[in-house]
Amino acid sequence: MDILINIRTSAAFLIIAALLVTQPVAAEGDAEQGRELGFTCLGCHGIEGQRNAYPTFHVPRLGGQGSDYIATALRHYRDGTRSHPTMHAHASSLSDDNIDSLLAWLETSGSASDIATAEQVEGVAAAKICVTCHGADGQGVVPQPPVLAGQHADYLVRALHEYKSGKRSGNVMVAFAASLSEEEIEIIANYYASQDGLETLDR
Ligand code: HEC
Ligand code: HEC
């Protein structure tokens, strides 16, 4: 009897442990509704090479980006924590249900998982810390950090400048970006951009 209980308890423990490790993303949205809501998004995120008008930089790739990070980004644009006039305009009309639906649709664009190697970054001591969260291959090792592999280099540079200047504040990146020199930013951005990973959304 005791043995049976022990087996049951350890089975339950294993299941809980597995759940904790896989950290399921709670996107129960309606992918069809997401596709409709996402139609306007494709006007920028679905065009290869599309740029932000001013300052000029590539619109970030979303195909394969993690759901947790996309949801956080949209909420931050919505509440103004992260400022960008166009993204604020798009996000401000989204309810939490709308965001879940967008995530369900965006998940159909797959997850970035290709691994590429690049030698350049080995010379950058500052990059060693980055991989503890963003992964050596640019894939996040915990759910929240965004995938960097395959992102546009000029967008990564912009993002790092925004953390450095405090324009994108209230998150762990502020401390990590602060110590990077301009040269290191360029090298790290090119390193992650050279990897296979994120893609422009299919139209
Ligand atoms: C007019 C062009 C345009 C449209 C339309 C647009 N976006 Fe964006 N989006 C951008 C730009 C430019 C950025 C980068 C802004 C910044 O630097 O914070 C961005 C950033 C994002 C990010 C953050 C990505 C990251 O890596 O941090 C998400 C998520 C996003 N957009 C989702 C959407 C969704 C969902 C829609 C539709 C509801 C949408 N966008 C519509 C131009 C656009
Ligand atoms: C402790 C974990 C952690 C470490 C270490 C870390 N990051 Fe991040 N990174 C994050 C998180 C979390 C975010 C999302 C922050 C937000 O919401 O803006 C992020 C966001 C980013 C972004 C923005 C991507 C986008 O799509 O907008 C870039 C670029 C980035 N990190 C680069 C780096 C670099 C380069 C390093 C090393 C110097 C580094 N990170 C170290 C956790 C980390």
Question: Is the shortest distance between the CB of 156 and ligand 1 below 6 Å?
Answer: no
Q: How many CB atoms lie within 10 A of CB 138?
A: 28
What number does the ligand 2 atom closest to the CA of 73 have?
Answer: 17
Exposure on the CB side of residue 160, measured as CA atoms within 13 A:
26
pLDDT given for residue 16 in this prediction: 34
Nearest CA to ligand 1 atom 16: 84
Question: Is the shortest distance between the CB of 74 and ligand 1 below 6 Å?
Answer: yes
How far, in Å, is the centroid of ligand 1 from the Cα of 71? 12
Q: What is the mean pLDDT of residues 56-66?
A: 95
Question: Is the shortest distance between the CB of 190 and ligand 2 below 6 Å?
Answer: no
Nearest CA to ligand 2 atom 41: 130
User: In terms of pLDDT, which residue wins out, 79 or 121?
Assistant: 79
Longest dimension (CA), the chain: 71
Check residue 201 and give left, alpha or beta (phi > 0: left; psi -120 to 50: alpha): beta
CA 34 to chain centre: 18
Q: Nearest-CA neighbor of 107 among 99, 115, 95, 117?
A: 99
What percent of the chain clears pLDDT 90, i.e. is strictly above it? Answer: 58
Ligand having the closest approach to the CA of 158: 1
Is 50 exceeded by the pLDDT of residue 3?
A: no
Q: What is the pLDDT of residues 124-159, one digit of tens each?
A: 777 778 877 887 676 666 667 898 989 999 999 999
Question: Is the shortest distance between the CB of 70 and ligand 1 below 6 Å?
Answer: yes
Q: How far apart are CA 14 and CA 20, in angstroms?
A: 10
CA angle 78, 83, 86 (to 5 degrees): 75
Residue that is written with structure tokens 């546009």 in the block: 152
pLDDT given for residue 15 in this prediction: 36
Q: What is the pLDDT of residues 177-189, one digit of tens each?
A: 998 999 999 999 9
Ligand having the closest approach to the CA of 100: 1
pLDDT given for residue 110 in this prediction: 77
Question: Is the shortest distance between the CB of 87 and ligand 1 below 6 Å?
Answer: yes
